[in-house]
A and B are shown apart, each in its own frame.
Chain A
Amino acid sequence: MFRKKRVRRRSVKGYETTEKTIGEVFEKAKKSSDFTTVTPLEKYPSLVISFYETLIDSKVFFQSVLPSLKEKASELKELSALKNIIPIEKIKITTDHTEVEKGLYDGAIVIYFEDKKEEYALLNIADHRLGQRETNDTQNEFSVIGPKVGFIEDLSTNLHLIRDHLSTSDLIFEEVTVGSRERTKVVLAYLDGVTNPDYVNTAKQRLKELDIDVTTDNTQLEQLITDDSTTPFPLYITTERVDRVVNAIVTGQVVLISDKSSYAVIGPATLMDFFSNPEDFYLPSIIASFFKLIRIFGMLFSIFATSFYVAILTFHFEVIPKDLLGPIIFSRANVPFPPVIEVLFLEVTIDLLREAGARLPTKIGQTLGIVGGIVIGQATVEAALTSNILLIIVALAALSSFTTPIYKMSNAVRLLRYPFILFAAIWGGLGIYVGLLFLIAHLARLKSFGAPFFAPLYPYRRGGVAVSFIRPTLTKYNKRPWYLRPLSLKRYSPVKDKDPEEGLNSE
């Protein structure tokens, strides 16, 4: 009882200092060196303008606000007259000090009379794009064909990209402010009349009740509102591709876009979504299906290949056919370690190379690839630390783990192999199956915005299983996935071709 009360009081109080009066607001702001106060008019020294020069667009300020103010200064008796003087629409006159404070941080200039400190005019001339990159290619989710436009770290640009792509009145952007200190704007995008309102409400409720001071990226926000924060699996798709986001909105998913983040978060996601790529929709159906299967095979191979090696070489020699046994024994003859040490050595090496490659500048990274891939690999085999058959398997497994299109899922796949290797080292093939059961039991409890994560496979949903593994032709794939429970199922209805029976078709 007592504890509950204490918690409640603290949450009301907040974690940062609050200013009581307008004087305190300015007093506090003046401590920062980028806070500027100017008196532009010699005739009326009482007219004061205050602003953070790091937040405003100085071009607008010096080229349109100041000149027009100086020109028509004689007409200025009241703050409300500012609207006639300054050629900018966004003028707001207020008496509330919290609004003034908020306006200052949003990039507004505050105009007031030194002798009349009740009214303040807020004039928003913020420069959101200052210091932001211009280029927005998709750098981390590459596709050979298809649009290459990606998001950047600016909310209004990102929203523009989506709205531009999907110009329909059904597309709704709902804004929620997150963070007690930073007040990041987060926008929920969904398609009205299609997306199940349960998802929207769940997402909104989680965002609104979230108590955090600062979020530095959307991916961090995703972890805060996730259904299960202890799983290695990403429960939401994070993407920087505009086409992927548009597709997700159209199929009835909710998209979260937040300010200062170039990644959009798509939910509810299902496991098999992570292995599809926007490019699948640009390639012919058969080719796309083939590559999707390759990706899924890659995921499975990457998880199980090395653990099978360990299990077979430690416990089940009998499984290997006689002809294959020769080369394996030959390659392992000089290796002094048990298979598990050998495998862990190489797997950790690959992960080291990968982590080093990810952190290094690109130019050094290339050298690293050569050093790691060729020198270390060749040398370990020659020094008889590992067998060269294992080297092939590990390299292939590493290669196939990179086929997963979503980076976060690719990481999860890479991590998963370690428990499997350990299980295989202790209990052989049985250990792998036990690991598989653990994995199934884990996947079955995961939820994404309250919807089952393992969805079209378990719980089984009709029509979802085939789509999880292949990409049907666009003329057949005209419905939204049923497991997302959209309000309207049909997306479009293809028309039969009306080619004339004779004419061009003659031979």
Chain B
Amino acid sequence: MNSIVKENKMVSSYFLFFLVHSTQTGVLFLQIQSTIIKGAGHDAWIPILLLGIMMHVLFLMMLYILKNSSTGDIISFHRDVFGKVFGGLLNLIMATYFSMVSLYVLYTYIDILQIWVFDGIPSWEFSLLFSVLIYYIVVGGFRVVTAIAYWGVVIPSFLLLSFLYLLDYVETSRLIPLFQYGVKDYLLSAKEAAPLYLGFENVLVFFPFIKNREKSTKWGHIALLYTTFIYTLVTLFAFIYFSQEKLEHLAWPVLTMIKMIQFPVLERFEFIFIFTWLLVVMPVICIYLWSAIRSIKLTIPKTKPTYLLVCLLVVFHFVNNQLTEIQYSHLMAKIVDYSGLIFLFGYVPFLFLIAVVRKKLKKGSKQIQTGEGKSQ
């Protein structure tokens, strides 16, 4: 794994924790609880836990792919395996996927803002504000993006304390009996829950920017564990807080839960929660966008990343501004979910197989060569 990244652009290895964890937690986390119960009902937290463990396998696959690429990222791997033209095409498709996820997260967050806080402010105002913010962050390079990821984990962590307030209102008997459902139900829940874990495929692009790569992988695993832990915890909490019938009808269960909280100096805590959620959302948007731009930049030489960023943000602004009807939102959600799942569960194992076969072939050819050398 030779790297083309200079050391003054790299970040320390422990930042992998923040980068991986912050890209995984997004908007979906606030609404998933009501959709996953369609399958396994109150047992639906089990698929979440199992999926989280599965992610480690996928992560190991990714690391294997990265290890066998020439500069330590998927962009060069594509080029190595599929050639310059076809590999470049794959890179561009990947960049499209990345920028679409980025756009989708931004779009949904603006949606939340309009539903929960500001019903009067039009989307273009938010979109403009966020575009400027995203521009300022992404243009600063990977280190600034990492800073946002870091603070996007540290500051919102205090929100977890807010669940302590809700402990008085839970009913643990709602979880019993366990293992009531069939395998098919669990699979259905798992399918619904899988998009939750999307996000760490960015590792494929930004991994060369991490220092001490061999040792840093443990931080990736810790991050995946932490994400799984938080997802399971909050899902469990939603299940013991609401009855199933109620949960089915809620669009944003976590926010509805938070709405309960009141303090003597602060009547409606969910405002603080939603605004702080910006810190959770922004790393997702920025890292995906940064990955997209890096993929394009390395594929097509002589592109200016700044212009690229501006172009993408203009597109983002247009979509956020014009396509505000709900059918577009559903369409976008579907596209992002499916393409993400295909990428994570189909494409990554596929590349992994290619990497394994390639290495075997290389070894074989080397052995033949050395064997020939010996015989002579």
- Give A residues with C-beta under 8 Å from B: 315-316, 318-322, 324, 426-434, 436-438, 440-445, 454, 458-460
For the complex, give the distance between the alpha carbons of A438 and B139 in Å.
Answer: 12
B302-318 CB mask vs A (1 if < 8 Å, else 0) is 00000000000000000
Q: Which residues of B contact A (CB under 8 A)?
A: 11-12, 14-15, 113, 117-118, 121, 125-126, 129-130, 133, 136-137, 140, 143-144, 147-148, 150-151, 262-268, 271-272, 275-276, 278-279, 282
In the complex, the answer to whether A459 meets B11 with C-beta atoms within 8 Å is yes
CB-defined contacts of A440 to chain B, threshold 8 Å: 147-148, 151
- A433 near B275 with CB under 8 A, answer yes
What B residues does A454 contact at CB under 8 A?
A: 147
- Bound Cα distance A322, B130 (Å): 33
B266: A residues at CB distance < 8 A = 319, 321
**Selected contact of B15 from candidates A429, A434, A459, CB within 8 Å:** A459
Which residues does chain A contribute within 8 Å of B117, judged by CB atoms? 315-316, 428-430
Which among A429, A442, A458, A460 is the interface contact of B271 at CB below 8 angstroms? A429
Residue of A nearest to B267 (CB): A321
B137 touches A434 (CB 8 A): no
Residues of chain B within 8 A of A459, CB atoms compared: 11-12, 15, 150
Q: Are A318 and B140 in contact (CB under 8 A)?
A: no
A445 adjacent to B144 (CB under 8 Å): yes
A315–B268 CA distance with the chains assembled, in angstroms: 13
With both beta carbons as reference points, the residue of chain B lying nearest to A435 in the complex is identified as B133
Contact A437 B148 (CB under 8 A): yes
19 contacts between A and B (CB under 8 A): A316-B268, A318-B267, A318-B271, A319-B267, A319-B271, A321-B266, A429-B271, A430-B118, A430-B278, A433-B276, A433-B278, A437-B148, A437-B282, A441-B136, A444-B140, A444-B148, A445-B144, A459-B11, A460-B150
Q: What 16 new A-B contacts, CB under 8 Å, besides A324-B265, A431-B129? A: A319-B266, A319-B268, A321-B265, A321-B266, A426-B125, A429-B275, A430-B118, A430-B126, A436-B279, A437-B278, A441-B137, A445-B143, A445-B144, A458-B147, A458-B150, A459-B15
B151 touches A428 (CB 8 A): no
CA distance A200 to B125 in the complex (A): 48
With A438-B136, A441-B136 as contacts: A427 and B125 at CB distance below 8 Å: yes
Complex CA gap A431/B133 in Å reads 11
In the complex, chain B residues whose CB is within 8 Å of the CB of A321: 262-267
Total A-B contacts with CB atoms under 8 angstroms apart: 88
Query: A319, A321, A322, A441: which has the most chain B beta carbons within 10 Å?
Result: A441
A39 to B368: give the CA distance in the assembly, Å. Answer: 99
Query: Complex Cα distance A315/B12, Å?
Result: 41
A430 and B275: CB pair below 8 A? yes
CB distance from A462 to the nearest CB of B (A): 10
Query: Measured between alpha carbons, how far is A403 from B175 in the docked complex, in Å?
Result: 53
Give the one of A322, A436, A440 with max B CB within 10 A.
Answer: A440
- In the A-B complex, the 8 residue pairs with the closest CB atoms: A444-B147, A433-B275, A429-B275, A321-B267, A441-B137, A433-B278, A318-B268, A444-B144
Q: Which residues of A contact B15 (CB under 8 A)?
A: 459
Complex-state Cα separation, A88 to B113, whole angstroms: 81
How near does chain B come to A430, taking the closest CB pair, in angstroms? Answer: 6
CA distance A61 to B140 in the complex (A): 61
Q: Which residues of A contact B267 (CB under 8 A)?
A: 318-322
Q: Are A428 and B133 in contact (CB under 8 A)?
A: no
A441–B148 touching, CB < 8 Å: yes
Chain B residues positioned under 8 Å from A445 (CB to CB): 140, 143-144
Residues on the B chain within 8 Å of A319, using CB = 266-268, 271
Are the C-beta atoms of B279 and A433 separated by less than 8 Å?
yes
Nearest opposing residue in chain A for B15, CB measure = A459
Tell whether, in the assembled complex, residue A438 and residue B118 are in contact, meaning their CB atoms are under 8 Å apart: no
CA distance A20 to B271 in the complex (A): 75
Q: Contacts A321-B264, A322-B267, A444-B140: A427 and B129 contacting too (C-beta < 8 A)?
A: yes
CB-CB under 8 A from B136, the residues of chain A are 438, 441-442
> In the complex, A322→B263 CA distance in Å?
11
B113 contacts across to A, CB distance below 8 A: 430
On chain B, the residues within 8 Å of A441 by CB distance are: 133, 136-137, 140, 144, 147-148
In the complex, which residues of chain A have a beta carbon less than 8 angstroms from the beta carbon of B143?
A: 444-445
Given contact pairs A429-B275, A440-B148, A434 touches B140 in the complex (Cβ within 8 A): no
Q: Determine how close the nearest CB of chain A comes to the CB of B174; give it in whole angstroms.
A: 30
State A431–B267 Cα separation when bound (angstroms).
Answer: 20
Inter-chain CA distance A438–B134, complex, in Å, is 9
Instruction: Report how far A316 CA is from B143 CA in the complex, Å.
Output: 35
The residue of chain B having its C-beta at the shortest distance from the C-beta of A443 within the complex is B147
Chain B residues with CB under 8 Å of A442's CB are 136
Is B147 touching A460 in the complex (CB atoms < 8 A)? no
In the assembled complex, which residues on chain A have CB atoms less than 8 Å from the CB atom of B125? Answer: 426-427
Give Cα distance in the complex from A432 to B282, angstroms.
14
* Bound-state Cα–Cα, A318 to B11, Å: 42
The answer for the CA separation of A145 and B101 in the assembled complex, in Å, is: 58
Distance between B147 CB and nearest chain A CB, rounded to angstroms: 3
Query: What is the chain A residue whose CB lies nearest that of B263?
Result: A321
- Contact between A437 and B133, CB atoms less than 8 A apart: yes
Q: Are B275 and A432 in contact (CB under 8 A)?
A: yes
Residue in B118, B268, B271 whose Cβ sees the most chain A Cβ within 10 Å = B271
- Give Cα A445–Cα B151 distance, bound, in whole angstroms: 14
What B residues does A437 contact at CB under 8 A? Answer: 133, 137, 148, 278-279, 282
Q: How far is the CB of B352 from chain A (nearest CB, A)?
A: 32
B271–A316 CB distance below 8 A: yes
Q: How many angstroms between the C-alpha atoms of A240 and B234 in the bound complex?
A: 53
> Which chain B positions have C-beta within 8 A of A436?
279
CB pair B140 A458 closer than 8 Å: no
Q: Are A438 and B151 touching (Cβ within 8 A)?
A: no
Query: A434 and B148: CB pair below 8 A?
Result: no
B246 to chain A, nearest CB (A): 23
| A297 CB, min distance to chain B CBs, angstroms | 16
